[in-house]
Structure 1
Amino acid sequence: MALSAQPRSGAPRAARRSCTSARPARCAPVRPPAAADPRHSAAPAATGEPSRAPAPWPQRVQLLASVPAPGDAAAALSAPPSPAASYSTYSSYEDGQVELDGPAETSLEAEAARLQRLLDALRAAGTTEARIALLDAHPCMVQLRASNSLSPLFAALAALPLEQQYAIKALPAIGQGHLLTLAPEDGDWSSPLRKLASSLVRVDTFYDSMGGLVGYQLKSLQLIAAGSGSPEAPTGSPQAPEGSPEAPGSAAGLPSGGEGSPEAPGEVTYHVPPALDLAGEAGRRVGARAAAAGILALPFMAEILPVGGAGDRLGLRDDVTGEALPAAMLPYTGRPMIELLLRDLQAREYLYWRLTGRQLTTPLAVMTSDAKGNHGRVRALLEREGWFGRDPGSFRLFRQPLVPVIASEDGRWLMTAPFKAMMKPGGHGAIWKLMRDEGVFDWLRASGREAALVRQVSNPMAGVDTTLLALAGTGYMQRRAFGFMSCERAVGAAEGMNVLQERRVWKGDGQGGGAWRYEYAITNVEYTEFERLGIADVPADGGGGQSAFPANTNILYVGLDAAAARVDAAVAAGGGEVLPGLIFNLKKKVNYRDALTGADRAVYAGRMECTMQNLADALTTPSDEPLPPAAPGARAGGDGLADALNNGGGGGGGLAARLDTFLVYNMRRKVTSSAKKRREPGSTRIAQTPDGSFYDLLRNGWQLLQRCGMRYVPEVGDVSSYLESGPGFLFLFHPALGPLWDVVAQKVRGGALMDGSELVLEVAEARLVDVTVDGSLLVAADCVMGHREQSEGQSEGQSGQARGQSGHHPAPAAAGLALPRDPEAEARPDAVRGGARAGGRLIYSTDCGRVHMMNVTVQNVGVDWHHPGNCYWRHQVQRHESCRVILHGRSEFEAYDCVISGDQTFEVPDGFRLVVTAGPRGRGLSRRLLPLVGDAPSWEWRYWMDEAGDVRLEFARNAALELFAAGGAGAPAPAADDDAVLDFMI
């Protein structure tokens, strides 16, 4: 399928958007440009006619035109009030009034042209002092100074640093002087002014390449005007040739990675992208090979976590204080979302340690924000949890700036209190420039990292099975610049799609001739852009509900050198190119209390946003000839990773291997099921809600338990029954139990999970063979993956060498999959063992909690499925009875050939092993508590990787501690003389 994106002709022209509203007009009046100057749009004459009705609210829009050529800079700073200019009055401190002149009607296009001239003048001024002098001469600033009631404002303003003075004084010049005209109720002008200035300086600094605050407002107006159906280019600039980055048929964002610029009209075509397909049984072999490559790549990988989202649609509040909480704090399965992401990462590191004996500490770049105290809450969580046993220096927290929310009708910033604008995060696409500005790219590369995985905090599914490892392995093995993890997408779904973008551009030879060149990239197109770009969202098979194009999930692979180079180039180019995929959502209605009027209002408003995935737009691959297209719907397959990439599933002719970008495909619930919004009471619409995400988590659990060979696992149930009476079962486990499903399936074999039962395994080291759970079985270890150590100064490779590391005996692997091993096996220094909350660094080791159960039935009443307080996605449930196994420090629990009935708790102290068997004549239970002697555990799994890339496990007993010798697992051996054996009956 190939769809050409051509501008549509004959579309009706929408009415001009106006800056006029029921609210006071902005200062200062904008002088319309001369009619003879084709570079500028003419502002409509003030006629006194009623304001025109706003155009219908369109979808999210993308910037289509560049800024206009500079006009008369002086016109940006002064213009005589027009005869029809209206006056707007603001209530001020002590009954004073400040009247700001403003035109009766100013088009967004004319206002954008004025801002462009203002921006040119400020850039020409050079120094901060000179720019402040220009702003002081602005008519609005002159008016403000003339008001005696605002003298406290200027007294407080004079005490600010110059950069903050500039940010505040820019507000009247860009039409936002209303933020400064309302006095604080407590009479303190300094504190709120400093806070506003600080936030504005962050915006001004971040958007420096496009002109700071003035450039932010200018771009926002351009986006609003472009999306409103204006008949003119937003700024009156000459029409860019089709095929250039500014043309309607191409994506906005960073400059193309190809050579040169198009010198003649071109075109952009979108194809179904080639992909490495991991879905279904046919993709398991491909997934195993890709995951093996991902394990090899772990020492060279970093992780990037954009966690700064406000999560407004979740409506999350602190249970105690009632404060609004950001999305990162959502208590999914009983833990904050950000903790789940760290558990996934540590599970991959633990798998690497089990295979190689080397401990990795992956650098984490965490983008936060100030929305709902996000930055402070995330940092407080990390500190409270001892950085989850990681070196604090392995984290780099950096804040994305909050940006003002702008009314779509008139371009004014929403004001919620004196000196307070409503501000929200400006989209996760800010992450690339922030990483450059904050030195994060340099920090990661100095840590020896060459690439990174990116995942969002709202999607807990990304770490399932092979997903992240396969993405990392595919990208790193092929040295790709950028990659997407994708899945199936329903036709008409309100989510973006991944496409193969083909751009045909004319490359002149300087002598009147030239040739067509081609640029390719797998990238993302937002669903709101389909119609504008001429993309038909059609079924893959002509009649089904699955789209031909896969879904964008924002699970990304990024080559650090390639990304940093593109961001550097974009900053040098200036404008908005450094912010990929600029959009402005014109459809969203915002409810707020207007500080100027005291009234509750609902207005269409938004902010300029950018999307991190559209960095791929700049990472194009040039070609002299068009690449052969993949067959419609074709995805890579086969047994070999290299073959799959090179052959494109047989239909791509090597297409995938020639690109700098790539795509990996898997079934949806193993890739994404986000928790972004609250489910409405009584609704069965669970998509993108915590309820829906947990539903998919349990469906994954059902599939995994089937792979484990359980003879019976109940269905989760349909959505209605799930919401009304709960799921058919509960199954949760620590990701270090795998994280690969094939590893879990070697640790849990056979058995059954009966209707309405619950199985929770918060352990990494487990062996469950023929265990039947009819009720509730909860196993939790304080130390899941090792011990905590207070000593410092160990190197990364040495710190993983733990006492008792006898289980690392990998079988020979294929040369392409050989894993490096640490030649040293030094004894670990004295360690401080403790619970999961203990301080000190987490050292992956055999000093952890273990559970071994064979031929055991657990019977109890279990979960109270009718309790009104149950919240399953929080794993907040009431139980009538349960069997609890609590493992402290380095301890073990074993149970053989018995039935454990009723409400039971088995708590094993640090350094001990509890063995439970059937009592004499099969009545009751026999417990034997024995000390663990020496450093080695009584049993462990030995990991290795075979030639096919599969991780294999071998169960190994420590002969010195073998309790059940020739008599079989159920026959207790006599205690050794130095054993302290506690025998008793239940």
Structure 2
Amino acid sequence: MPRRAQPPPLRAPVAVPFAALALLLKCLVAAGQEHVLGDELEWYGGGGGHHEHHHRNGASGGSALREALYSLAGLVGKWSSEGVAGTEKGSGEMEVLRRLLKFLGDIEEFYDCIGGIIGYQIMALELLSASKDRKHRPSKHKFVDFHVPSGLNLLEDTEYASQAALWGIEGLPELGEIYPIGGAGDRLGLVDSDTGESLPAALLPYCGRSLLEGLIRDLQAREFLHFKIFGGQCITPIAIMTSSVKNNHEHMIAIFDKLDWFGRGRDNFRLFEQPLVPVVSAEDGKWLISKSLFPVGKPGGHGAIWKLAYDRGIFQWLQRRGRKGATVRQVSNVVAATDLTMMALAGIGLRCNKKLGFASCERRPGATEGVNVLIEKQNLEGLWSYGITCIEYTEFEKYGIPEPTVTGSSQVSYPANTNILYVDLQAVEEVGSRKNASCLPGMVLNLKKAVSYVDHLGFECSAAGGRLECTMQNIADNFVNMYNYRCGKGIESELDTFIVYNERKRVTSSAKRKLKSEDRSLHQTPEGSLLDIMRNAHDLLSRCSIDVPMVKDNSEYLHSGPPFLIFLHPALGPFWDIIQQKFIGGSVSKGSELQIEVAEFLWKDVELDGSLIILADNIMGSTKKNKNGEQILHYGVRCGRCRLQNVKIVNEGINWISPSNVYWKHDVERSESVKIILHGNAEFEAKDVVLKGNHVFEVPDGQRMFIVQDRAGFVVKLEPISEELMESGTWHWKYTVDGAHVKLNMVEL
């Protein structure tokens, strides 16, 4: 059973650090947020005794702050001397107090670089004031300009793109992975169907698995490719920033426990929790509260990851494992690992000793996304600085960034920021270690969206407000290059920052919000991102000389659903040039379904009209226990295998008119299908055969199944795999590097 984190036990009054409590509460009051204490402060400070004390000390005209502090001192004294845990009511009060203390302590600790609780509030008020007055801080530069950054276009310079991706795969033992998945994901409205509990975005069931599982699946596909080319077992260390919102952290631990840490070993993961930060009212800067002692808290943006990773020793942990750089992606972007994009980005970063890289693409009109720019600045001393960075969409008006335009327009169109990054670990560690605001990059107060929260009666409320948010990608602002002179075109190749481009559907398509009945746009919905996956499948298989229907405009989906469902395990490549060598000829008819969950696979001249589902226990290898008793995945050992040659498959397939179909979950009703299930190292082969109707071919571990045609239809033959071939299988794909490409040859054993 998965182990869920248990809430800490209630503490006795003597165990509460009252000196620390007093300091934190004084900071709270000094920041003008005494209303958070609500009835507690009013109850103690409302009597006449303290006012008389004020008069005796000549403080009758004292400020509200001073009065609040006097009341607060009495309140803390009450808690300290009398204790509040003697009764059931007292225990509840102490638990509430403990939670408030933790909330305040986390803010004071995390924002120590800007002055803790008080510094947080000052920064929030400054940004709030600037947003109301439409004023901006005086610039430290006498010249600032933005340009469209140049960089490798993976679609145009295909030879260099392939070489860069190979560098990335070769350098995998020097790479870590960093996932910021602490966001609330409120727009998805995801709830547990059994308990009604709100769930974080990482648990969204998407295409048959959670979004979190999809991240690990993509990474393992790259590790499998490294194994096939270079022969070494590589387990990438993964750092994950979670949060407490919607029990995000506990849910992450539970899913990892349930799935045995994905056969990677618990020591190859580090989960570190992002503190929640107070939400301030857009009207007056006061913290929103759901009830007494309960401030409304939200995660403080993905940009918290750099300081938090430094504070929690994450960078040191990665470097102890021999890692030089890391790739960063968000859990909601389901296409980030498509084809070459991430590995070309990492390959250039590693090979060229860059500090930070962006994967980018064209912008989509109306999308709430930032842009990447080449920034050019001259400071007051006359020095010029250049770097590739990001401007968030909330700052477009401030910097005069226009909306994207139609192709052919003369207006400048900056590329989209996708939050797919390569980072040099030493470089980002240095920024995260700083004791000033620069370790919290791109600080903004986003007031564009209403804040939802639950009030003291349990009702959903909405208010205009926001919280300080740091933007992860704006750490790039710390990596500009300085020159004594103004540089010309092409300066990008010399910079510590860089950018690569690919077409949008291979770089970013997110499942961030629930589709509403009145929606006419599928942008950022699971439905919209599914269609982009299908478009990629069409483009890929078309390159393999396989006839596949076109995916029409998104509006068609609202009326009739997708034209087909095709889900290919990324370990089949993940580079498209590799997948092309495993798929040759044939067709996939409209309304068909194809799911392939095996890496050692051949499709040659297969015609599919209906549903074909291939599932393997050992997709990329098999698990063995390590010295700690953990099941560890070993690539290439006892894989399942499947070859289909000159096969025609015809069945009723998906019932496309069923009202229960949820295509983006891959939860569909089928009338008929052909299902191939490979247990252990089982192998399946079909050649020169027609398979009509509903069939399930289940192959036991250690067996080979052959399907051959006869006059009555087909016959099934089953034979054992010889003992000496149990580990390696009777055939496999051999991967060899040929220049900038990977060539495959089938080896029969």
Q: Distance in 2 between matches of 1:301 and 1:912?
A: 38
Alignment of 1:246-257 (within 5 A): none
Cα deviation, residue 583, structure 1: 0.4
Equivalent AA in structure 1 for residue 100 of structure 2: L
Contact 2:39 2:292 in 1 (8 A): no
| 2:154 counterpart residue number | 278
Q: Distance in 2 between matches of 1:89 and 1:298?
A: 49
Cα deviation, residue 400, structure 1: 0.8
Q: Which runs of 5+ in 2 are unaligned?
A: 1-25, 49-62
Please point out which of 453, 473, 478 is paired with 1:613. 473
Please point out which of 632, 646, 663 is paired with 1:855. 646
Cα deviation, residue 879, structure 1: 0.2
Q: Distance in 2 between matches of 1:686 and 1:192?
A: 42
Is 2:424 the counterpart of 1:584? no
SS in 2 for 1:428: coil
Is 2:705 the counterpart of 1:914? yes
| 1:475 counterpart residue number | 349
Cα deviation, residue 594, structure 1: 3.8
- Structure 2 length-normalised TM: 0.89
Equivalent AA in structure 1 for residue 678 of structure 2: L
| 2:94 counterpart residue number | 190
Contact 1:156 1:189 in 2 (8 A): no
Contact 1:92 1:98 in 2 (8 A): no
Contact 1:90 1:99 in 2 (8 A): no
Q: What per-residue deviation string (whole Å, max 9, x for no partner) do you get for residues 233-279 of structure 1?
A: 8xxxxx75x3x2xxxxxxxxxxxxxxxxxxxx522111111111113
Is 2:440 the counterpart of 1:604? no
Moved more, 938-947 or 662-671: 938-947
User: Residues 780 and 418 from structure 1, CA distance in 2 versus in 1: closer, same or farther, beyond 3 angstroms?
Assistant: same
Is 2:487 the counterpart of 1:622? no
User: Residues 78 and 430 from structure 1, CA distance in 2 versus in 1: closer, same or farther, beyond 3 angstroms?
Assistant: closer
| 1:660 counterpart residue number | 496
Cα deviation, residue 222, structure 1: 1.3
Please point out which of 733, 744, 749 is paired with 2:568. 733
Q: What per-residue deviation string (whole Å, max 9, x for no partner) do you get for residues 169-200 of structure 1?
A: xxxxxxxxxxxxxx998872111111221222
SS in 2 for 1:287: helix
Please point out which of 689, 692, 714 is paired with 2:528. 692
Contact 2:173 2:234 in 1 (8 A): yes
| 1:565 counterpart residue number | 430
| 1:524 counterpart residue number | 390
Cα deviation, residue 904, structure 1: 0.5
SS in 2 for 1:319: coil
Q: What per-residue deviation string (whole Å, max 9, x for no partner) do you get for residues 443-474 of structure 1?
A: 11111111110000010110000011110111
Equivalent AA in structure 2 for residue 524 of structure 1: C
Q: What per-residue deviation string (whole Å, max 9, x for no partner) do you get for residues 855-894 of structure 1?
A: 1111110000011110011001010011000000111000
| 1:962 counterpart residue number | none
SS in 2 for 1:530: helix
Equivalent AA in structure 2 for residue 139 of structure 1: E
Q: Distance in 2 between matches of 1:75 and 1:334?
A: 48
Please point out which of 201, 209, 226 is paired with 2:105. 201
Contact 1:157 1:193 in 2 (8 A): no
Please point out which of 716, 722, 727 is paired with 1:927. 716
Quote the RMSD (CA, aligned, Å). Answer: 3.0
Is 2:634 the counterpart of 1:758? no
Contact 2:170 2:230 in 1 (8 A): no
| 1:776 counterpart residue number | 611
Contact 1:758 1:776 in 2 (8 A): yes
| 1:550 counterpart residue number | 415
Is 2:602 the counterpart of 1:767? yes
User: Residues 223 and 897 from structure 1, CA distance in 2 versus in 1: closer, same or farther, beyond 3 angstroms?
Assistant: same
Please identify which structure carries the higher helix content: 2
Please identify which structure carries the higher strand content: 2
Q: Distance in 2 between matches of 1:100 and 1:717?
A: 72
Contact 2:107 2:275 in 1 (8 A): yes
Q: Distance in 2 between matches of 1:697 and 1:100?
A: 66
Q: Distance in 1 between matches of 2:35 and 2:288?
A: 16
Q: Distance in 2 between matches of 1:775 and 1:927?
A: 21
Greater radius of gyration (CA): 1
Contact 2:734 2:746 in 1 (8 A): yes
Cα deviation, residue 725, structure 1: 2.1
SS in 2 for 1:266: strand
User: Residues 723 and 98 from structure 1, CA distance in 2 versus in 1: closer, same or farther, beyond 3 angstroms?
Assistant: farther
User: Residues 497 and 689 from structure 1, CA distance in 2 versus in 1: closer, same or farther, beyond 3 angstroms?
Assistant: same
Cα deviation, residue 517, structure 1: 1.3
| 1:724 counterpart residue number | 559
User: Residues 153 and 725 from structure 1, CA distance in 2 versus in 1: closer, same or farther, beyond 3 angstroms?
Assistant: farther
Equivalent pairs counted in the alignment come to 706
Contact 2:36 2:295 in 1 (8 A): no
User: Residues 853 and 591 from structure 1, CA distance in 2 versus in 1: closer, same or farther, beyond 3 angstroms?
Assistant: closer
Cα deviation, residue 286, structure 1: 2.9
Is 2:545 the counterpart of 1:709? yes
| 1:946 counterpart residue number | 738
Equivalent AA in structure 2 for residue 140 of structure 1: A
SS in 2 for 1:864: coil
Q: Distance in 1 between matches of 2:407 and 2:503?
A: 17
Equivalent AA in structure 2 for residue 661 of structure 1: T
Q: Distance in 2 between matches of 1:156 and 1:207?
A: 33
Cα deviation, residue 225, structure 1: 1.1
User: Residues 157 and 945 from structure 1, CA distance in 2 versus in 1: closer, same or farther, beyond 3 angstroms?
Assistant: farther
Cα deviation, residue 283, structure 1: 3.6
Alignment of 1:426-465 (within 5 A): 426-465=300-339
Cα deviation, residue 718, structure 1: 2.9
Contact 2:84 2:93 in 1 (8 A): no
SS in 2 for 1:494: coil
Cα deviation, residue 613, structure 1: 0.2
Cα deviation, residue 527, structure 1: 2.1
Equivalent AA in structure 2 for residue 885 of structure 1: I
Contact 2:369 2:392 in 1 (8 A): yes
| 1:142 counterpart residue number | 70
SS in 1 for 2:522: coil
Q: Distance in 2 between matches of 1:223 and 1:98?
A: 32
Contact 2:29 2:69 in 1 (8 A): no
Contact 1:324 1:372 in 2 (8 A): yes
Equivalent AA in structure 2 for residue 268 of structure 1: V
Equivalent AA in structure 1 for residue 113 of structure 2: S
Equivalent AA in structure 2 for residue 880 of structure 1: S
Equivalent AA in structure 1 for residue 513 of structure 2: K
Cα deviation, residue 840, structure 1: 0.6
Q: Distance in 1 between matches of 2:508 and 2:580?
A: 22
Q: Distance in 1 between matches of 2:37 and 2:383?
A: 58
Is 2:263 the counterpart of 1:381? no
Equivalent AA in structure 2 for residue 219 of structure 1: M
Contact 1:89 1:98 in 2 (8 A): no
User: Residues 76 and 708 from structure 1, CA distance in 2 versus in 1: closer, same or farther, beyond 3 angstroms?
Assistant: closer
Q: Distance in 1 between matches of 2:83 and 2:538?
A: 63
SS in 1 for 2:353: coil
Cα deviation, residue 319, structure 1: 2.0
Cα deviation, residue 285, structure 1: 2.5
Q: Distance in 2 between matches of 1:146 and 1:942?
A: 76
User: Residues 615 and 89 from structure 1, CA distance in 2 versus in 1: closer, same or farther, beyond 3 angstroms?
Assistant: closer
Q: Distance in 2 between matches of 1:330 and 1:601?
A: 24
Is 2:116 the counterpart of 1:220? no
Q: Distance in 2 between matches of 1:479 and 1:556?
A: 14
Contact 1:156 1:190 in 2 (8 A): no
Equivalent AA in structure 1 for residue 729 of structure 2: P
Contact 2:596 2:613 in 1 (8 A): yes
Equivalent AA in structure 2 for residue 944 of structure 1: T
| 1:872 counterpart residue number | 663
